[in-house]
């Protein structure tokens, strides 16, 4: 099943970015809420795990708290504050999980500095200040982006590609980008095409030509870009998917 991000990239005019979707939901469009929550469970798990310092299962109370916090973040997000939705959501998730752990006396799961022997009000203020939007540790985001890029680079190498290649081969025109991304979506959502790509490390041009309705020449010209986008769509590359949506808006 294509996740909601694939739908976003396939038709940005209808769906848009996560930031746009949050605005839509706040304006009354609730049809996409459940799908977003389902697709971003791995993101929620990662944020909760970073607080609890252990692997998080969906049956854990902390995960439920995190998922509720992600839901709340959708309605509280304000693009005017300058941060991306995922950055904002991570702050909200961590704040809620920390409050939950503190209220349940699970102090050992948190740093001793964050939960010192100060008064309850002072402790809450210290935690809130540390995790506030204004002072959120952006170095962590930079670090996670670097890790994600490194992981994606390893994937690209399996297909004899590199980031330098992507810079050179990225379609310059929006229509060409949209066409290439739509072809990548087909590959990512069609088991037989995806299996061929993963096994042979190349696109099944002949079969793909029948599936997408584009000429062989168009597919061949953008084959490296199509492969790269397919890898992004199929992987847990949250920041790269955000970057991809940004490229589509240029």
Q: pLDDT of 176-214, one tens digit each? A: 888 898 899 899 889 999 999 999 999 999 888 888 888
Distances (CA, A) of 12 to 17, 182, 189: 7, 11, 18
Confidence of residue 244 (pLDDT cuts 50, 70, 90): low
Q: Higher pLDDT residue, 242 or 70? A: 70
Measured CA to CA, the distance from residue 32 to residue 166 in angstroms comes to 32
Question: What pLDDT does 3 receive?
Answer: 38
Measured CA to CA, the distance from residue 124 to residue 128 in angstroms comes to 6
Whether residue 154 has pLDDT greater than 50: yes
Rounded to the nearest integer, the mean pLDDT of the chain is 77
Distances (CA, A) of 164 to 34, 171, 173, 225, 244: 37, 14, 19, 12, 16
Confidence of residue 138 (pLDDT cuts 50, 70, 90): low
Query: Using an 8 Å Cβ cutoff, are 98 and 114 in contact?
Result: yes
Confidence of residue 71 (pLDDT cuts 50, 70, 90): very high
Long-range contacts of 169-175 (CB under 8 A, 24+ apart): 169/222, 169/224, 169/225, 170/225, 170/247, 171/222, 171/225, 174/248, 174/250
- Tell me how crowded residue 17 is: count the other CB atoms within 10 A of its CB: 22
Residue 143 host element (H or E): helix 138-158
The encoded tokens of residue 125 equal 């203020």
Say which range, 32-36, 136-140, 188-192, 243-247, has the weakest mean pLDDT.
136-140
Query: Using an 8 Å Cβ cutoff, are 46 and 66 in contact?
Result: no
Whether residue 90 has pLDDT greater than 80: yes
Question: What pLDDT does 234 receive?
Answer: 85
Local structure of 37: helix, strand or coil: helix
Measured CA to CA, the distance from residue 144 to residue 159 in angstroms comes to 23
Query: Using an 8 Å Cβ cutoff, are 134 and 143 in contact?
Result: no
Mean pLDDT of 139-156: 79
Q: pLDDT of 119-137, one tens digit each? A: 444 444 444 444 444 444 4
Give 3-state DSSP helix, strand, coil % of the chain, rounded to 5: 70, 0, 30
Residue 147 host element (H or E): helix 138-158
Question: What pLDDT does 93 receive?
Answer: 93
Q: For residue 190, give the DSSP letter.
A: -
User: Which sign does the torsion angle of CA 58, 64, 65, 68 carry?
Assistant: positive
Find the helix packing angle between 85-103 and 41-52, rounded to 10°.
Answer: 50
Confidence of residue 169 (pLDDT cuts 50, 70, 90): confident
């Amino acid at each position: 099943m294509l996740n909601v991000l694939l739908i976003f990239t396939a038709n940005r005019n209808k769906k848009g970015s996560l930031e746009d979707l949050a605005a839509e939901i706040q304006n009354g469009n609730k049809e996409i809420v459940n799908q977003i929550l389902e697709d971003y469970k791995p993101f929620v798990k990662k944020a909760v795990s970073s607080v609890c310092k252990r692997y998080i299962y969906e049956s854990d109370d902390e995960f439920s708290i995190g998922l509720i916090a992600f839901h709340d973040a959708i309605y509280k997000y304000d693009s005017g504050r300058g941060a991306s939705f995922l950055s904002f959501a991570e702050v909200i998730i961590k704040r809620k999980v920390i409050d939950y752990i503190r209220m349940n006396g699970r102090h050992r799961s948190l740093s001793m500095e964050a939960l010192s022997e100060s008064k309850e009000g002072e402790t809450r203020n210290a935690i809130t200040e540390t995790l506030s939007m204004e002072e959120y540790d952006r170095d962590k985001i930079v670090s996670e982006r670097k890790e994600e890029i490194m992981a994606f680079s390893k994937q690209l190498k399996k297909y004899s590609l590199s980031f330098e290649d992507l810079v050179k081969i990225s379609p310059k025109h929006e229509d060409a980008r949209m066409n290439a991304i739509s072809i990548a979506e087909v590959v990512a959502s069609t088991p037989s095409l995806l299996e061929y790509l993963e096994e042979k490390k190349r696109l099944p041009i002949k079969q793909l030509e029948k599936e997408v309705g584009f000429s062989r020449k168009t597919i061949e010209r953008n084959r490296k870009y199509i492969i790269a986008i397919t890898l992004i769509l199929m992987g847990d590359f949250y920041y790269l998917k955000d970057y991809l949506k940004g490229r589509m808006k240029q």
